[in-house]
Structure 1
Amino acid sequence: MKKTLSLLLAAAMTLSLLASCGSKNNNDASQSAAGSGSASASQSQQGVEKTGVNFMALSGPTGVGAAYLMKYYSAETSPADCPVALNSTVVADNKEVTDALVNGTADIAAVATNVAANLAAKTDGGIQVLAVNTLGVLYILEKGDSVQSMADLAGKTVYATGQGANPEYVLNYLLTQNGVDPSQVDIQWMTAQEVTAQMASGDSAICMLPVPAATALMMKDQGVRQALSLSDEWDKLGQGSLAMGCVVGRTQFIEEHPETVDAFLDLYGDSITFMSDEHGVAGAAALVGELGITANEQIAQKAIPQCNLTFLTGADMKATLEEYYQVLFQADPASIGGSMPYDAFYYGAE
């Protein structure tokens, strides 16, 4: 695959990976559904009924894998013979996504895995998980060379993002499993911008950040090094995969439009493949920067290889998430809504 975006797209389109979605045609695509209302439909020149899907993605690694999908399967760009037309929004806050799912203004969304479980519990099954899209993306960074293991964090101050979400539970679990009570670490929860400021002002500061925030910090300050990959630390424990990002949908939407959901998932898988192709990082980075999923294209180009993109559905998705949720549940039941999700939570896993 060529490294320029235009050639990447031309090659990708010739593959016609979906039986229901052929190559894009701008004239036909202009007649697709506007997608501004949930499940709005129209007819293309070829007679394929399009269903509008209101899709939301978090900025950062959880949204990276969907960039190609959002750009080239919108109401304006979706191929004429494709039944899906996306109305996409990128936001920075999990709460904004969950609110949209609850009030029905979002049909499908990319969120953190613990958020998905919590939301399913709060809505009494109103949310189902469709796929795992992101594995571990957390890193311990420091100025200096004092941290070689999780145990080395004892007695240290760590600036971190993600309180009340996957990062907090993962960090606490890894500390505990390495013989460190989290109370022995002064964890100061902040925004990514505040963490960056603290790292800039300290001579021996330590932080925990996900990519691309971690990538941006190391690009900005050459004195900051990657001390630990929390994915590697998790793997050492033999507790399965560190599944941090997923795709969820409203149960009502799923039940009303099962064919649309299946077509969407096929497209999402193709998008993950495009975004994770090591020969096409430049083109993928351009999309991520354009859509505001990262601060800019330069950060995206360095961050994408560390985003640990994946695409697990059905039984594989269920097995991966259940193992991860079991760890979170044992550490803190509230982290996943107080109980393990029911089987019905896992779409297509029967």
Structure 2
Amino acid sequence: MKRFLMILLSAVLVMAALGGCDKKEEETVIRLGGLKGPTSMGMVKLLDDAEKGKTESKIEFTMAAAADELTPKFLKGEMDILAVPVNLASVLYNNSEGAVRFAAVNTLGVLYIVEKGGTTVNSVADLKGKTIYATGKGTTPEYALRYLLGENGLDPDKDVTIEWKSEPTEVAAVLGQEAEGVAMLPQPFVTVAMGQVEGLKVALDLTEEWEKLDNGTRFITAGLVVRKEFAEKYPKQLAKFLEEYKASTEYLNANVTEGAALVEKYGIVKAAVAEKAIPACNVVYLDGDEMKTAVDGYLNILFEANPKAVGGKLPGSDFYLGS
């Protein structure tokens, strides 16, 4: 009898252990945040599908005009995943002592050189002697511009004059008043400005100019960050979310008209503007080693320009999801 009870107890323990292995992950609603602009365009199909109950992911979405509306909540654990500028992802990692993981690149470069009244700018070197109107002083657009000028043999402080404005609308206003002019603008403001300023055209795609350097880095605007705690607690749901997010970016690029309507639905920009801007917004999905190589190289360039741009130091290897 005693032996029988021992065998029965062993069987119960084995079954309990097996049951523990098969224990289902607790379902949760993913609290997702995005910024009003290209960095959120890739998710609009996913948001629409989730709203209609067509996705496995259950999503609670918050759109913001500025990152500081989202990041405090994220760091306090009140949001789970954010689409933010890549340098901000590094800052969040450093400020949280490594409690943040970078999951995927979702937007490459969105900066362009536009020109009015001439066809004189066909390369970065052609900017020599020009006055460039731009926004983003002290942030990544300035560092990117200065880097590209330097890599093309120009001294940013001597060979060009950069006049910084606070908003893209100010840049467009200046160009509208002048017979000729050169500016650096991000999408979708490039598309908006071209509709407002007669004779304005795109002279250079700075993402393409960056690729021409063939230096092993890529020009990146933004990506997805997830709280480490969330990633560890809900790995299956995070993996499914990323799979559905990737499909959403692919849908946007393959169905521009329909995607533009969704971009307007979620308050990013009007559909008419979005339809023209989407092909130039470089919405992508990069993960794994491709993501790590691209982000490492870009953050190194920003760090060399100004360590504060990445939070004072480069993130550790555990910055990347799955590392």
- In 2, Cα distance between equivalents of 1:160 and 1:119: 26
- In 2, Cα distance between equivalents of 1:289 and 1:162: 25
SS of alignment partner, residue 28 of structure 2: strand
- In 2, Cα distance between equivalents of 1:99 and 1:215: 32
| 1:36 paired residue number | none
User: Residues 135-191 of structure 1: CA distance to partner in whole angstroms, max 9, x if unpaired?
Assistant: 121101121223233233344332222333321211111111122222232231321
The residue type paired with residue 74 of structure 2 is L
Between the two structures, name the one with larger relative contact order (CA 8 Å, sep ≥ 6).
2
Same amino acid, percent of matched pairs: 38
Contact 1:97 1:111 in 2 (8 A): no
- In 1, Cα distance between equivalents of 2:99 and 2:139: 20
| 1:163 paired residue number | 137
- In 1, Cα distance between equivalents of 2:163 and 2:67: 21
| 2:209 paired residue number | 233
Q: Report the alpha carbon displacement of residue 119 of structure 1 after superposing the two structures with TM.
A: 1.6
| 1:281 paired residue number | 256
Q: Report the alpha carbon displacement of residue 233 of structure 1 after superposing the two structures with TM.
A: 1.2
Q: Report the alpha carbon displacement of residue 339 of structure 1 after superposing the two structures with TM.
A: 2.1
Which of 273, 280, 290 is the equivalent residue of 2:265?
A: 290
Q: Report the alpha carbon displacement of residue 49 of structure 1 after superposing the two structures with TM.
A: 6.2
Paired residues for 1:99-178 under 5 Å = 99-145=72-118, 146-178=120-152
Moved more, 149-158 or 174-183: 149-158
Instruction: Indicate whether 1:213 and 2:213 are aligned.
Output: no
SS of alignment partner, residue 204 of structure 2: strand
| 1:199 paired residue number | 175
Give the unaligned 5+ runs of structure 1.
1-46
- In 1, Cα distance between equivalents of 2:175 and 2:63: 27
Which of 289, 304, 325 is the equivalent residue of 2:299?
A: 325
- In 1, Cα distance between equivalents of 2:132 and 2:248: 35
Paired residues for 1:1-350 under 5 Å = 50-74=27-51, 77-79=52-54, 82=56, 84-145=57-118, 146-184=120-158, 185-239=161-215, 240-277=217-254, 280-294=255-269, 296-348=270-322, 350=323
Q: Report the alpha carbon displacement of residue 219 of structure 1 after superposing the two structures with TM.
A: 2.2
- In 2, Cα distance between equivalents of 1:346 and 1:329: 18
Q: Report the alpha carbon displacement of residue 50 of structure 1 after superposing the two structures with TM.
A: 4.0
The residue type paired with residue 108 of structure 2 is L
- In 2, Cα distance between equivalents of 1:110 and 1:327: 21
- Coordinate RMSD, CA, aligned: 2.0
SS of alignment partner, residue 344 of structure 1: helix
Give the unaligned 5+ runs of structure 2.
1-23
When the two structures are superposed, what TM-score results if normalisation uses the length of structure 2?
A: 0.85
Q: Mark the structure with the bigger radius of gyration.
A: 2
Question: Hey, which bits of structure 1, 4+ residues long, moved more than 3 A?
Answer: 47-50
- In 1, Cα distance between equivalents of 2:113 and 2:146: 13
Contact 2:112 2:186 in 1 (8 A): yes
